Amino acid sequence: MQTRIYYTFRRLSLVFAITLNLGISYSQRSVPLNNQSVRLDVDNGTGDILGLTDKSTGMNFISEAILKNALWQIDLLPGCEPAVVTPAAARKFRFQRPDNLQKEVKMIWEDFDLPFPDPLRVEVTVFLDGKEQVSYWGISIAKPAQLRIEKVRFPRVTGITKQPDERLAVPQWMGQLTTIPRKLITGAGNPYKRLEWTYPGAMSLQCLAYYRENGPGLYLSCDDTAAFRKVFAFWGDSTGRVNYEMMHYPENESQPQKSYTPAYRAVVGTFRGDWMTAAERYRAWGTLQTWAVRSRLNLGVVPEWLLKTSLWVWNRGKSEGVLKPAVDIQKELSLPVSVFWHWWHGCSYDAGFPEYLPPREGTEQFKSALLAAHKSDIRAIVYMNQRLWGMTTRSWLEQGAERYAVKGLDGKVRPEIYNTYTQQACASMCMATPFWRKTYASIAEAAVRDLGVDGIYMDQACSSLLCYDPTHGHPLGGGSYWMNGFRLLSTDIRQRTKSVRNTLLAGEGAGEAWLPYLDLMLTLQVSKERYARPNDGWDCIPFFQAVYHAYGVTYGNYSSLTIPPYDELWPAEFAPKEPLKLLDRTYSTLFYVEQARTFAWGSQPTIANYLPVQRQERMEEIAFALKLVRIRERGTKYLLYGTYLRPPSVDASPIEYPVIRLSIYAGRRGKATETATKPSNDGGADDGKRDKDENVYQATALPFVVGAWRAKDGHVGVAAANVSTNAHLFRFNASRYGYSAGDSVWLIRENGRLDFGVIGSNGDISVEIPARDATIIELVKK
């Protein structure tokens, strides 16, 4: 209680002091840092950020510099008192200019009134680098051992100046962009007034961009090369003010620690442009790091058959409904097809893990079917969740698995329920425990060596968790132990199976930290309309591909022409009457959009829930998908190995199309499933019932999905897919890619590479692309 009273008094004292100083000019209060591109001002009495000005635009990104949140905050572990420590609790504050440099300042807070024998001292160093538009922020804490830290919030950039046409780009696995960031952060639809992303995990790389479209922007990042646990967050209030912070998690705070200094610096910078500008800046740094240099694609150690795969078939169930459809579409395509195989296992999906063996159709039948598929040059990777253990399984009790599960701050397992039909809980296993790694690796070994599968799809791979179990032998809380555990797991699987084959390891999501360990990454946001909340304010963007496409292979989508499948081991009462029944063609546009995104954004093409009958009953849709596969096959130097470039803008009105939000769980009860297959009289909307279903809504898309790529030989390819029902002219100027009059233009089409002439004097290129068609426009120097 005394601490709380003191904290309140200190804060009121600070407010009073600032109020008295309102007459003091900005320049008198400021400690300025300058380089040729940026000016940063910090308060000489508090250390708070007063201004961050981009000199090229004159934009100051900090508003409301008075009475805002402090530069840092220390959150202590539950049960500690005080619960938080901020600069307001320091009796002394001072700053230093090392060697009188105008580009660096050191700020020190000390003499805190805390009930511990040893003092607390917080030191922050801010540095502007040369001519660049970035500042680097480091924090170091010397503390009493009894002051046990859960997380440190630093730096806190508060009162971000509002601009028109604001955008926020986030590398949420593949990437997402919103044109209404303040509404999503501070609006009524967000009761927490907060958005945050965890790294390493759903945040695939360490960079955010908050900006005005084609105008000034904030570049928010860090220079961590070891993938320490952290969170990037925005928060706000009902007035619409938006703030930013990073959260850092110390290692092993359950044991007495007398200091904490993150092994990296936060980065706060400015730029002018868009999310691609930020991605290019981050790429210049990220591709020099170990995860890129030693990525499996860059080292040339991914399985050769993966690079030759032209199409993935993502089917579920027994081999009859998985391998035979793959053989069928491979015959039609005359190109290599591989299988992404779910529900092969003997346990119920999202409930019975990890009791995968034996296969549900029996070991001998499974092996026989897979051997036959191999003779047709079909390769298969099988599903195995890399961190879940069903808490209702026999093995959970018999093997004492709870001991090795992830524990929260309270020391308890946090059950996770994914299966909405059975409501059976799973627990996340701790990747740092040898027990879990050995358990998983031994099952993977049996699948590869005994059953003959070609690889393992490790669901939820690109994610990490904090664990506070002191018996696991890892630092508690933060650190890099999760990634180290994954490294050991992937190495063990490959060691166990190397005498049989170069086992492919794939994972859900995307993440720079996993590039040295995974051969393949599943990027499903091209299909976000099928699973995300309708009109949630986010659009998918190829953020990860823009940074790391040349260093890792991505694949996948939920692109399906049927209602989702239903696991035969789930309760029969919820099963659809006609599993895999074709969707009404009203909803086919999304299929075209998903296929176009996958193609233009450089992922390996995928089709879900494919059955041979679809080649007749959905002939146009399948023809479009296979056309994109054939075009891509002629342009893999761009779409498999190329570096992403800023694509041309699309000067065309958006199209509107109906979408049904329907996945294996979403929209599976009530009207949505019925509406999805309801036949219409004219191929359009039915009698209006769709509008009454919350899972059915209108979406918009530009008629073209576009991606631009530079191949290793220097040539540029612009991939454009027309998803509309009309032909459109696709135009851009070749000078943006360094080409000029007389340079050659080629069109890579389904049937070959066509000479399109040379670039004219003005550099403009105009290509008519028919409805539901695509091309790669290739630029070659004369």
Tens of pLDDT, residues 689-707? 333 467 899 999 999 999 9
Report the distance separating Cα 163 and Cα 353, nearest Å. 49
Q: Is the pLDDT of residue 686 over 90?
A: no
Report the distance separating Cα 307 and Cα 555, nearest Å. 11
Residue 253: per-residue pLDDT: 67
Q: How confident is the model at residue 770 (pLDDT cuts 50, 70, 90)?
A: very high
In single-letter form, the type of residue at position 446 comes to A
147 in Cβ contact with 120 (< 8 Å) = yes
> Comparing C-alpha atoms, which of 655, 543, 587 is closest to residue 280?
543
> Comparing C-alpha atoms, which of 592, 518, 523 is closest to residue 175?
523
Residue 5: per-residue pLDDT: 29
The overall average pLDDT reported for the chain is 92
Each residue of 579-601: b (16+ CB within 10 Å) or e?
ebebbbbbbbbbbbbbbbbbbbb
Tell me what percent of the residues of the chain surpass a pLDDT of 90. 85
Residue 84 bridge partners (DSSP): 75
Residue range 102-117: average pLDDT? 93
Q: Is the pLDDT of residue 348 over 80?
A: yes
Of the ranges 245-254, 601-610, 719-728, which one carries the lowest mean pLDDT score? 245-254
Residue 510: per-residue pLDDT: 97
Q: Is the pLDDT of residue 18 over 80?
A: no
- Tell me if residue 680 falls in helix, strand or coil: coil
DSSP 387-426: SEEETTSHHHHHTTGGGGB-B-TTS-B--B---TTT---E
Q: Is the pLDDT of residue 23 over 90?
A: no
**What distances in angstroms separate CA 351 from CA 189, 360, 405, 579, one per listed residue?**
32, 15, 16, 21
Report the distance separating Cα 305 and Cα 338, nearest Å. 9
Residue range 342-356: average pLDDT? 98
Residue 110: per-residue pLDDT: 97
Residue-wise pLDDT tens digits, 565-578: 999 999 999 999 89
> Which one is predicted more confidently, 665 or 449?
449
Tokens of 435: 């027990």
Q: Which helix (H) or strand (E) holds 11?
A: helix 2-20
Report the distance separating Cα 459 and Cα 429, nearest Å. 13
Report the distance separating Cα 263 and Cα 479, nearest Å. 10
DSSP state, residue 210: E
Tokens of 728: 């459109």
Report the distance separating Cα 606 and Cα 522, nearest Å. 10
Q: Which helix (H) or strand (E) holds 327?
A: helix 323-333
538 in Cβ contact with 178 (< 8 Å) = yes
Each residue of 673-685: b (16+ CB within 10 Å) or e?
bebbbeeeeeeee
Q: Is 284 exposed, middle or buried (0-12, 13-18, 19+ CB in 10 A)?
A: exposed
236 in Cβ contact with 182 (< 8 Å) = yes
- Tell me if residue 372 falls in helix, strand or coil: helix
| Torsional sign, CA 641, 646, 651, 654 | positive
Q: Are strands 311-316 and 606-608 parallel, antiparallel or unpaired?
A: parallel
Residues in Cβ contact with 634 at an 8 Å cutoff, skipping those fewer than 6 apart: 748, 752, 753, 776
Tokens of 493: 């699987």
Tokens of 505: 């390891």
Report the distance separating Cα 360 and Cα 534, nearest Å. 35
Three-state secondary structure readout of 25-79 = CHHHHEEEEECCCEEEEEECCCCCEEEEEECCCCEECECCCCCCCCCCEEEECCC
Tokens of 632: 């891509």
Q: Is the pLDDT of residue 320 over 80?
A: yes
Residue range 737-742: average pLDDT? 97
Report the distance separating Cα 711 and Cα 638, nearest Å. 5
495 in Cβ contact with 441 (< 8 Å) = no
Q: Is the pLDDT of residue 678 over 50?
A: no
Report the distance separating Cα 211 and Cα 163, nearest Å. 8
Residue 535: per-residue pLDDT: 87
> Comparing C-alpha atoms, which of 84, 70, 72 is closest to residue 4?
84
Place of tokens 């940074």: 547
Q: How confident is the model at residue 458 (pLDDT cuts 50, 70, 90)?
A: very high
Cα Rg for the chain, rounded, in angstroms?
A: 28
> Comparing C-alpha atoms, which of 606, 669, 670 is closest to residue 632?
606
Report the distance separating Cα 419 and Cα 567, nearest Å. 11
Residue-wise pLDDT tens digits, 28-61: 788 999 999 999 999 999 999 999 999 999 999 9
Report the distance separating Cα 715 and Cα 773, nearest Å. 23
Report the distance separating Cα 303 and Cα 721, nearest Å. 29
Residue 65: per-residue pLDDT: 53
Place of tokens 């499974």: 366
Q: Are strands 134-142 and 176-178 parallel, antiparallel or unpaired?
A: unpaired
**What distances in angstroms separate CA 551 from CA 134, 294, 622, one per listed residue?**
26, 9, 30
Residue 534: per-residue pLDDT: 86
Q: Does 200 sit behind a cis peptide bond, omega within 30 degrees of 0 on the bond before it? A: yes
Residues in Cβ contact with 498 at an 8 Å cutoff, skipping those fewer than 6 apart: none
> Comparing C-alpha atoms, which of 254, 30, 261 is closest to residue 149?
254
Report the distance separating Cα 379 and Cα 457, nearest Å. 13
Residue 695: per-residue pLDDT: 86
Q: Is the pLDDT of residue 9 over 50?
A: no
The model carries a pTM of: 0.94
753 in Cβ contact with 777 (< 8 Å) = no
Tokens of 102: 């105008």
The number of residues making up the chain comes to: 782
Longest dimension (CA), the chain: 84
Residue 715: per-residue pLDDT: 98
Q: Is the pLDDT of residue 670 over 60?
A: no
Residue range 727-752: average pLDDT? 97
Q: Is the pLDDT of residue 409 over 90?
A: yes
DSSP 122-176: EEEEEEE-TTSSEEEEEEEEE--TT--EEEEEEEEE-SBPP-TTEEEEE-BTT-E
Centre a 10 Å sphere on the Cβ of residue 761 and count the other Cβ atoms it contains: 8
What is the CA angle 95-100-104, rounded to 5? 60
Residue 1: per-residue pLDDT: 32
Residue-wise pLDDT tens digits, 703-717: 999 999 999 999 999
> Comparing C-alpha atoms, which of 53, 54, 48, 136 is closest to residue 95?
48
Q: Does 564 sit behind a cis peptide bond, omega within 30 degrees of 0 on the bond before it? A: no
Phi, psi of 619 (to 5 degrees): -60, -45
Tokens of 81: 């008192």
> Comparing C-alpha atoms, which of 168, 177, 166 is closest to residue 541?
177
Report the distance separating Cα 169 and Cα 543, nearest Å. 8
Q: Is the pLDDT of residue 17 over 60?
A: no
Report the distance separating Cα 454 and Cα 475, nearest Å. 35
Residue range 369-376: average pLDDT? 98
Residue-wise pLDDT tens digits, 191-244: 999 999 999 999 999 999 999 999 999 999 999 999 999 999 999 987 889 999
Tokens of 664: 């294996």
Q: Which helix (H) or strand (E) holds 291?
A: helix 290-293
Q: How many CA atoms lie within 13 A of 284 on its CB side?
A: 6
